[in-house]
Amino acid sequence: MKTEIGWILVRARGERILSLELVDTKAPEPPRAVAARLEAYFAGDLAALDALEVEPEGTDFQRRVWAELRKIRPGETISYGELARRIGRPRAVRACGRANATNPIGLVIPCHRVIGADGSLTGYAGGIERKRWLLEHERRYTALPAAQPVLQAAWKL
């Protein structure tokens, strides 16, 4: 499907869905329902992707990181260090970054909501411009928390 940030492919292949890249997931919904949820997200219904049940294949550590990413609310950003703290592994900042980078289901597992400790937009497989667009899109439809304007200023690369 064509979106504001480019093409997102959603295609059934047995128990697989193709979304930005090939991912392994047990999706209870047919691809049309997934596409409808993606369309709703891009139209401003930021909670549309929350109900999608996914079980991406990965290590226990990766799955913990990905589960924590799904808890970050739309429009909110956290640092890699905060992500490591939230999963109870405060020294595993780089490992969290690597798990973030190997996220197989972008958007549904919102790795774009993780930024550098200094507020900079760092590391996004879809490209920094897409990460910026996604964060701005989410902020357009949510109330901006008081601490966020400082971080937003760092986005101007």
- For the stretch 3-58, pLDDT in tens is 888 877 776 543 333 344 434 445 445 578 888 999 999 999 999 999 888 888 99
Q: Which CATH class is domain 60-153?
A: mainly alpha
- pTM for the predicted model, two decimal places: 0.78
Q: Which of 83, 107, 111, 115 is catalytic?
A: 111
Q: What residue spans define the domains of the chain?
A: 2-42, 60-153
Q: Is 96 a catalytic residue?
A: no
**What is the spatial distance between Cα 50 and Cα 44, in angstroms, rounded to a whole number?**
13
